[in-house]
Amino acid sequence: MHPETTPSSVQPDAGMSEDVAAAEARRIIADAYRPTVYRDDTPAPAYGPTAPVVQPGRPPMSQGATDASVLMLAGGTTTAMVGGTAAVLMYVSQFADALVCGLVFGAPTALVLALARLAARAKPAPDVHHHYEGPVYQDRRNVHTRTTGVWAKTNNHQ
């Protein structure tokens, strides 16, 4: 850079020696590249208002959605295994009849359609809400029933 194009903040001071200027330049560069990260090493609380963290694997969903996804995965796997086995058997035997192909490949499809109709008829359990007015007493005792003997004798214990 020419002295006439250098900004005034970068121009060396007339009273500084070369060694002092070099040390000042190293300090400025070191300050510019100093990491600006802070790590908090205090342990996180084991309980409390900590927000939930998504775990690796399946995404969080309701129990009904989890059950339905497992059912769909099982149905898809079964269909793929049955169809793949039939395809391999027909290829190895070198005999493929149109009726046999229709039965082999149509059976898993019929099973999937039947499961879809069954799932369409299934309804979720209704939400039950109880509303009371006035004093309410709830009895939460457990009763253990045991029936023994040739002649049935039932004992109820709390």
pLDDT in tens, 17-65: 899 999 999 999 888 887 777 777 888 777 777 777 777 877 778 888 8
Whether residue 156 contacts residue 144, with contact meaning beta carbons closer than 8 Å, is answered with yes
Cα–Cα distance, 62 to 39 (Å, whole number): 35
* Rounded Cα–Cα distance for residues 70 and 54 (Å): 19
Distance, CA of 138 to CA of 149 (rounded, Å): 34
What CA–CA distances, in Å, run from 23 to 3, 14, 16, 18?
Answer: 21, 16, 11, 9
Looking at residue 85, what is its pLDDT? Answer: 80
- Read off the pLDDT band of 8 (50, 70, 90): very low
Where exactly are the structural domains of the chain?
63-121
**What integer pLDDT is reported at residue 7 of this predicted model?**
47
pTM above 0.85, yes or no: no
